[in-house]
């Protein structure tokens, strides 16, 4: 099989200057963490098999990737509904999963960005604890966690800097569940380090992504969000309107791929990379072969 060409980060800036693709030539974007690297690779291999000329520009930050698509330098990538709602469109009201999707679909259409059919994968933020420790303290939900904190349990939290300051982040979460944690009980670290810190007992509660494969691998308990604080982050292909017009079959092809993803599938793919240390390329190929898409 002819593998799609993947550009290194060193060639990213110059590649972006090339602009958008013509019909049958597609530039697939991706963010800079395991799940997104998998998705961009799966999508590129899939579209290559369908006969498109594909270039892959992944390893990008969210805002840079979004701007590249708005500028016509990226044709398509996988985005999360909550990210578009809050980060790109500055909407802070609490919406259901369906309402979130409909709102971002409408708002982004004004920018010539089309949201296709959402998958059943919802990679939302969550708080997790070690299963045995959560069981011992009787904590199953964020409500239980708040009650335990307010009883002066002295739990320590592992958070990343972005979540600490986001509109859907740490301070609003405390307000929603009516608890307070002192600064000395918060350890800020890179997202990837939180999982090992939580596993090793260096923190008691950690910020996780709900589809991360290390959750089952490290025996974490994800705490139920009783009050629906975290918005939906439905994983969805987003495509430039001009790209769809130039490639009319693309919508159905990407929707067929989207319907293959759910929380369990994404978590298993992530685990193969982050826990079993398989390569992005081989996990992507195995997925496509399993689903008879190659």
Domain containing 211 — which CATH number?
3.40.190.120
46 and 78 co-located in one domain:
yes
Instruction: Provide the strand spans (E) within the chain.
Output: 5-6, 25-31, 53-60, 76-80, 113-115, 125-130, 157-159, 186-188, 205-209, 220-222, 235-240
248 and 112 co-located in one domain:
yes
- Say how many C-beta atoms besides its own lie within 10 A of residue 67's C-beta: 15
Strand order across the 157-159 sheet: 186-188, 157-159, 205-209, 125-130, 220-222
102 and 138 co-located in one domain:
no
**Rounded-to-integer distance, Cα 101 and Cα 234, Å:** 8
Does 45 fall in a domain?
A: yes
140 and 203 co-located in one domain:
yes
In the chain, the number of structural domains is 2
Domain residues for the domain of 75 are: 26-122+232-291
- In the listed set 222, 245, 280, which residue is the last one of a domain according to the structure? 222
Closest CA to 187 of 157, 152, 155: 157
Note the pLDDT of residue 150: 92
CATH code: domain of residue 252: 3.40.190.10
Note the pLDDT of residue 164: 85
Does 13 fall in a domain?
A: no
49 and 113 co-located in one domain:
yes
Question: Distances in Å between the alpha carbon of 234 and those of 50, 230, 247?
Answer: 25, 12, 24
Q: What's the distance, Cα to Cα, between the start and end of the chain in Å?
A: 9
99 and 41 co-located in one domain:
yes
176 and 58 co-located in one domain:
no
- In the listed set 201, 222, 243, which residue is the last one of a domain according to the structure? 222
Does 15 fall in a domain?
A: no
130 and 268 co-located in one domain:
no
- In the listed set 202, 222, 242, which residue is the last one of a domain according to the structure? 222
284 and 155 co-located in one domain:
no
pLDDT (tens, 9 = 90+) of the chain, 294 residues, equals 334 444 434 344 434 434 444 567 999 999 999 999 999 999 999 999 999 999 999 999 999 999 999 999 999 999 999 999 988 999 988 899 999 999 999 999 999 999 999 999 999 999 999 999 999 999 999 999 999 999 987 899 999 988 888 766 899 999 999 999 999 999 999 888 999 999 999 999 999 999 999 999 999 999 999 998 888 999 999 999 999 999 999 999 999 999 999 999 999 999 999 999 999 999 999 999 999 998
Does 167 fall in a domain?
A: yes
Does 17 fall in a domain?
A: no
Note the pLDDT of residue 23: 67
130 and 118 co-located in one domain:
no
105 and 249 co-located in one domain:
yes
- Which SS3 state, helix, strand or coil, does residue 124 take? coil
143 and 266 co-located in one domain:
no
Note the pLDDT of residue 21: 43
Does 131 fall in a domain?
A: yes
């Amino acid at each position: 099989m002819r593998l799609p060409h993947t550009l290194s980060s060193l060639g990213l800036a110059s590649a972006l200057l090339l602009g958008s693709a013509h019909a049958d030539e597609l530039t697939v974007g991706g963010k800079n963490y395991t799940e997104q690297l998998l998705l961009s690779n799966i999508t590129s291999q899939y579209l290559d098999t369908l006969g498109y000329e594909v270039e892959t520009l992944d390893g990008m930050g969210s805002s840079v990737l979004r701007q590249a698509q708005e500028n016509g330098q990226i044709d398509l990538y996988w985005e999360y509904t909550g990210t578009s709602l809050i980060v790109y469109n500055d909407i802070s009201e609490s919406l259901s999963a369906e309402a979130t999707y409909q709102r971002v679909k409408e708002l982004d259409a004004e920018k010539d960005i089309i949201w296709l059919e959402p998958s059943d994968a919802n990679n939302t933020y969550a708080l997790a604890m070690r299963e045995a420790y959560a069981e011992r303290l009787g904590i199953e939900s964020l409500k239980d966690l708040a009650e335990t904190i307010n009883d002066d349990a002295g739990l320590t939290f592992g958070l990343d800097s972005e979540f600490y300051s986001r509109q859907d982040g740490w301070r609003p979460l405390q307000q929603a569940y009516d608890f307070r944690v002192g600064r000395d009980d918060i350890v800020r670290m890179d997202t990837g380090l939180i999982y090992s810190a939580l596993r090793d007992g260096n923190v008691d509660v950690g910020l996780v992504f709900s589809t991360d494969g290390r959750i089952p691998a490290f025996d974490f308990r994800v705490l139920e969000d009783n009050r629906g604080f975290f918005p939906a982050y439905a994983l969805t292909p987003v495509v430039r309107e001009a790209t769809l017009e130039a490639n009319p079959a693309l919508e159905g092809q990407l929707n067929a791929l989207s319907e293959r993803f759910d929380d369990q599938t994404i978590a298993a793919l992530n685990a193969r990379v982050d826990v079993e240390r398989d390569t992005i390329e081989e996990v992507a190929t195995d997925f496509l072969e399993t689903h008879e898409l190659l």
